[in-house]
Amino acid sequence: MPTAYVQLGSAVAFNVAAYLVYRSIADAVPRVWWPIFAIGLTLGAANTFLFARSIKAIPLSVAYPVFTGASFALITLAAALAFNERLPPVHLIGIGLVVAGIVLVTR
């Protein structure tokens, strides 16, 4: 079971990384954008593989909310740090509620 949670956490990390890659090419598409896009797709494939492996041991009713909630929270924070996106207090409150939800779902 602990391995499944490591896989789930890794799936979240790869998901966050994939979306950061996509965001990096969204505004200013470089001349040769496809290698960067391919990196994002590879990260997304790793995310899907690890998520699928994790739900062999973790109920989907737990794994999916944890995956989406953690991804939402981390992407929001990472985008604020990496791309100087605005992070108003209401977003921080939302992240706190998501984390609280994850704690409740995993009990």
Answering whether pTM is above 0.75, one says: yes
Q: Where are the alpha helices (DSSP H) in 27-59?
A: 34-54
Domain of 85, in residue numbers: 2-105
- Confidence (pLDDT) at 8: 97
Number of domains in the chain: 1
pLDDT at position 35, please? 87
User: Rounded distance, CA 78 to CA 76, Å?
Assistant: 6
Each residue's pLDDT expressed in tens, for the chain with a length of 107 residues: 689 999 999 999 999 999 999 998 887 666 778 888 899 999 999 999 999 999 999 999 999 999 999 999 999 999 999 999 999 999 999 999 999 998 998 88
Query: 62-89 b/e with 16+ CB inside 10 Å = b?
Result: bbebbbebbbbbbbbbbbeeeeeeeeee
Contact criterion met (CB below 8 Å) for 12 and 71: yes
What string of DSSP letters covers 58-88?
A: S-HHHHHHHHHHHHHHHHHHHHHHHH-----
